[in-house]
Amino acid sequence: MTHSIRHGGNLREAARRYAISFDDWLDLSTGINPCGYPVPPVPPDAWRRLPEDDDGLSEHAARYYGAPLALPVAGSQAAIRALPALLRRGTAGVAPLTYGEYAPAFRRAGHAIATLDVARRDLPDTLDHVIVANPNNPTAERVTRDTLLSWHERLASRGGTLIVDEAFADADPASSLASETAREGLVVLRSVGKFFGLAGIRAGFVLAAPTLADALRETLGAWTVSGPARHAVAAAFADTAWQRETRERLQRDGARLAASIAIHGFDVRATPLFAWTSTPKAPELHHALALRGIWTRLFDLPGMTPSLRIGLPGAPGDWARLSLALREICA
């Protein structure tokens, strides 16, 4: 039986379930920057002409990420779906609580799935491929560069692959493996949607050695990223002042969000873009916030302690609304 994969951002579903008008919700169910990049006006030709691969976007992305090569894709989601079929069939290690698309994608391509315990740091010899989100979504757990590179070396020595999802790395890129992606058997996925707050344009990049990047390009076909999206991404990558100011703001706001939850007695882990808490009370907290028109992401998997991910508020009124709701609920 095929089960649909649940994601945050399903605000219309919440509005129907709780009978609260769509416009009255505060959506904190994703880890998307609520103060996204102000995209300049789109040139008319971006709408009228087919996208062109030689428009310089790949080179802009490679410079921004510090990578040898960057392949534009329709969000990292497109790569997640296509990559498993390009890899030698084997056993793929995936953390039990991470982005939910990886395990199904590898299963569809004929791979076996094994539970990956990133806290152990030693990699089982039974794994052919390993998928790690760094920082992890939703647990905010991080794996060091040295550990990841040692994992890659072991996997590559037996023809395997390390895939590192760095969708949330832009706010704190010090641990990124982007600069190492000329190595065979190492793939880094980057998203424009989270840090830049441009999830709607569906654009991302695959950083990998030419052989795999070329195979993926052939699989995905032409025009994977639209002309308006390419315009928006190129402008965002060129705006270094905005990037610097945004990293500073997100560091402050991420710490503020974590503190506003921890003050009520919850154990919190956080990135600059979201906070996460694991507690048996997570379903009650999720429901109580929803009754107040605040939508969060609940993780309630069999055999695991329930947990809640809360994204960043944007406007001052949104911060005040969340703070008041937490005080009322936890009183």
**Each residue of 278-313: pLDDT tens digit?**
999 999 999 999 999 999 999 998 889 999 999 999
Q: What is the DSSP letter of 281?
A: T
**How would residue 2 be classed by pLDDT, with cut points 50, 70 and 90?**
very low
- Tell me if domain 11-37+241-330 and domain 44-238 are identical in fold: no
Q: Is the pLDDT of residue 112 over 80?
A: yes
Q: Using N-to-C axis directions, what is the helix angle for 240-262 and 227-238, rounded to 10°?
A: 90
Tell me the torsion sign for CA atoms 222, 227, 229, 232. Answer: positive
Region 320-326: mean pLDDT is 98
How far is the C-alpha of 151 from the C-alpha of 154, rounded, in Å? 5
Cβ neighbours for 258, distance < 8 A, ≥ 6 positions apart: 268, 269, 270, 275
What is the rounded distance in angstroms from the CA atom of residue 190 to the CA atom of residue 203? 9
Domain positions in the chain: 11-37+241-330, 44-238
Residue with tokens 């873009």: 273
Q: How confident is the model at residue 10 (pLDDT cuts 50, 70, 90)?
A: confident
For the stretch 251-273, pLDDT in tens is: 999 999 999 999 999 999 999 99
Map residue 189 onto helix, strand or coil.
Answer: strand
- Asked if the 11-37+241-330 domain carries CATH number 3.90.1150.10, the reply is yes
Q: Cis peptide leading into 138, omega within 30 of 0? A: yes
Cβ atoms of 66 and 178 closer than 8 Å: yes
What architecture is domain 44-238? 3-Layer(aba) Sandwich (3.40)
Please tell me whether residue 208 adopts helix, strand or coil conformation: strand
pLDDT of residue 115: 93
- List of E strands, the chain: 26-27, 71-73, 91-94, 112-115, 129-133, 161-165, 186-191, 204-208, 268-271, 274-278, 294-295, 297-299, 307-311
